[in-house]
Structure 1
Amino acid sequence: MSAPPPWRDPRRHLWLLSPAFAAAAAWHLLSFWRSGELLWLWLLPAVVYGVIPLADALWGTDPRNPPETAVPALEADPYYRWVVVAFVPFQYAATGLGCVIAASMPLGIAGWAGLVLTVGGINGVAINTAHELGHKRPAWERWLARVVLAPVAYGHFFVEHNRGHHVRVATPDDPASARLGESFWAFLPRTMAGGLASAWRLEARRLAARGLPAWHPRNELLQAWSMTVALYAALAAAFGPGVLVFLAVQALYGASLLEVVNYIEHYGLLRAVQDDGRRERCDVTHSWNSSHALSNLFLYQLQRHSDHHAHPGRRYQALRHFDHSPQLPSGYAAMLLLAYVPPLWFAVMDRRVLAHYGGDVTRANLQPSRRQALLARYRGEARAQCSSAE
């Protein structure tokens, strides 16, 4: 009997959608610079906020997993690594072209908004590229992650995500884990300030263990931030100091895209305290999962977040879908639109959190300021359901 043919990744060439998205951003900016047609600045925001959510709904999910026997060869294939790296030059091209436009073209409110959404959007998506690179062992990939974070001025993410978030995920101590009853607009300042403070503490502690002060050239936060300072200084020297305002605004928007994704990924989920007083180990039930096909292609399967947290070193092409992971009703592109409107978000997601915990609201990660109200509400609903069933 002949051996079965080797497994082939059915998505192999579709992973190029992510660097193609960055290339399209650069092309659209170049086209606007040449023509002045406002449409070019709004095409990518329309794709992010309109086309991708609709396409996710129409295409649906793809829960297929690679066979475990194929994973070693799949992860060793350099093609997938260079797909991620290919995003970076287009990201920088888009950032540079954004500065050219900001410095040289008259822009009304719609023009400025489109420019920020396009450039900041690409740099926000680039944080996901940095996320994929920053988890890997080769030093050059981790350094490239810092380069990717420089345009969005979020270099501390490299430290906080790997050494903070992955340790404290789905606990009240994690600034990047949203709580049941917490709106995105309350979460955003908490996670931004908390993540920055946590990253500094982690790095100061690491350096202190080596007998070094926090303000030292080996501080990885200072190294990452210096890249942003150097980049912004070079762009200001080339196009005038006025571009610094544009760079700051697009960076804020780009960082907010990361944080709305953080909000979605762990909303209301909690790792239980064990008998020994320690939190249970993170597994595939502590992150919201989505296998919506199109948005996963754009995001290097970030939406298979359950497997990522359970196995952080696993490369994107090998991440798995698990039916018993809590499932989002759609991909991130649609979910972030819900997150921007808290009543809609709560209406869609709170009942899913409760269902995940069998109706026991005390097992969820609760927003402290709303704890009593949430307990009263959901316990009351549970009693009402029991009474009606009887």
Structure 2
Amino acid sequence: MTHPLVNALGYLAVFLPFALLFAGLSLGIPYLAAAVVFGAGPLLRLVLGNASSELPEWGERTATLLDRLPTLYAMAFPFLLAGVAVELYRHPPAGVAGWIGLGLSLWTCLFFAVVVAHELIHGSPRRRRLGWLLAGAAGYPLLAHEHLSHHATSGNVHLAEWPRRTESVWSFAARRSVRIVRSAIEYNAILAARGRRSAVHGGLIEAIAATLGTVLAFALAAGFAGLALILCVAAGVHFGVQAVTYLQHWGLGVDSVDDADERRYAWEDRCQFQVWLMLHLALHHAHHQNSSVPYYRLAPHPGSPRLPAGYVVLLLASFVPPLWRWLMIPALENWKRDPLAQVEPVRWRLVCLPANYEPRLVPRQ
């Protein structure tokens, strides 16, 4: 088990994407944040291993600081984003490759900002409002609206809350995007019909305003190029959220698992770096069982389905459906056969291949 102090400091990784982005802009390598997080990040399992199945014994002061970390991040976010816009105004990228590199790194920062916003929307009303604003500023104002209803609808593949076992990430992302927008419009109509003062569900106006503020800041910083950059990044953030939902729930809906409508099944991965960077979002089955538990008190759930690789590897694999099925079907069938027969990546084994799921090779842990 990682020492509690090291474990606590590890959660500062939420600031790593922005730190790498500013370093990359200073060094003239705008793609640095994306390259490190998505290139080197998966390899850190070799060094850091997996998060322990047991919770650390946090001291009161440490627990308080960890509890406040998402709020501190949300408060720092506007200044970090403003710093990027100012740097863009002063030193715009040179050439198409520079803009693409900056776009990938900025997408990395905003995507993981949505992860922090996810933690906030499961908190108190004040934190939930802050999570709305953070998600909006990061380019995904519908986060709270779609995610809280997602928790209330277990295993439903018809409404695109869980993906169908037979569909690709591309199909699911498109189907879920339509569902989310239509749901927001319908809820807005219901509230308007009831004569509510706010015609949009709890905080959505503020979230959309935060999105528009971000778009305006980049447009002012770099004109049409800045506008195109932030719109492309926001579209990428939207797709990234749907792709992660696909990864977390594929094969665990009512079309594949009999009791999916009751048990809120989700895949988990214990990569320590990923756990730190995503505030335990990768321990997704445990999160679904009790979404009010703060991230630093969330441990891997016994008997949860375990992913055969980390999120980065599997997101790339999901873009090629035959490769995705080749990796995931053995993991799914192994979990169905025996939920306690955990086969998961461990240090040097970054990806569990189909051969790792042969019954004679399945170890009990």
Give the TM bin, normalised by the shorter chain: 0.7 to 0.9
Look up the match of 2:352.
Answer: none
The alpha carbon displacement at 1:217 in A equals 6.3
1:293 paired residue among 272, 279, 283: 272
Determine the C-alpha separation between the residues in 2 that align with 1:41 and 1:165.
Answer: 35
Decide whether aligned partners of structure 1 residues 110 and 176 sit closer, same or farther in structure 2, where only a CA change above 3 A counts: farther
**Cα distance between partner residues in 1 of 2:34 and 2:328:** 25
Following TM superposition, by how much is the alpha carbon of 1:271 offset from its aligned partner in structure 2, in angstroms? 4.6
Partner of 1:53: 42
Query: Which of 15, 23, 26 pairs up with 1:19?
Result: 15
RMSD: 3.2
Retained in 2: the 8 A contact 1:269–1:287? yes
- Using the TM superposition, name which of 83-92 and 185-194 deviates more: 83-92
Identity of counterpart residues, as a percentage? 25
- How is 1:125-204 mapped onto 2 (pairs within 5 angstroms)? 125-137=112-124, 139-162=125-148, 164-204=149-189
1:67-97 per-residue CA deviation (whole Å, 9 max, x = no partner) reads: 7xx68x7699320133223433554445335
1:315 aligns to 2:294 (yes or no): yes
1:81-100 maps to which residues of 2 (within 5 A)?
81-88=67-74, 91-100=77-86
When the two structures are superposed, what TM-score results if normalisation uses the length of structure 1?
A: 0.76
Matches within 5 A, 1:254-273: 254-271=237-254
Deviations 1:120-170 (A, max 9, x none): 111011110100001101x321121122112333111111101x2111232
Distance 1:223 1:312 in 2: 24
CA spacing shift, 1:238–1:45, aligned 2, 3 Å: closer
Q: In 1, Cα distance between the equivalents of 2:156 and 2:24?
A: 42
Structure 1 residue aligned with 2:262: 281
Question: What's 2:232 paired with?
Answer: 249
Any idea what the Cα deviations from partners look like across 1:311-369, whole Å, max 9, x if unmatched?
0111000112123100012221222122222221110002222333349xxxxxxxxxx
SS in 1 for 2:102: helix
Q: Which structure 2 residue ranges, 5 or more long, are not aligned? A: 339-365
State the number of aligned residues.
336
Give the Cα separation in 2 of the matches to 1:287 and 1:279. 10
Which position in structure 2 is the counterpart of 1:342?
321
Q: Give the aligned partner of residue 119 of structure 1.
A: 106
Partner SS state of residue 172, structure 2: helix
Instruction: Extract unaligned runs of 5+ from structure 1.
Output: 1-6, 360-390
Shift of 1:291: 1.2
Cα distance in 1 for residues equivalent to 2:257 and 2:276: 37
Q: In the alignment, does 2:351 pair up with 1:351? A: no
CA distance in 2, matches of 1:248, 1:240: 12
TM-score of the two chains, using structure 2 as the length reference: 0.80
Match of 1:383? none
Larger Cα Rg: Structure 1 or Structure 2? 1
Distance of aligned partners of 1:133 and 1:312 in 2 relative to their CA distance in 1, 3 Å threshold = same
Q: Residues 21 and 33 of structure 2 are in contact (CA less than 8 Å); yes or no, is this contact kept in structure 1?
A: yes
User: How far apart are the structure 1 equivalents of 2:180 and 2:6?
Assistant: 37
2-structure distance, mates of 1:259, 1:317: 24
In structure 2, what residue type is equivalent to 1:282?
A: R
Q: Is the 8 A contact 1:132 1:315 kept in 2?
A: yes
Per the TM alignment, residue 219 of structure 1 is displaced from its structure 2 partner at its CA by 5.5
**1:223 corresponds to 2:206:** yes
Residues 103 and 229, structure 2, Cα contact 8 Å, conserved in 1: yes
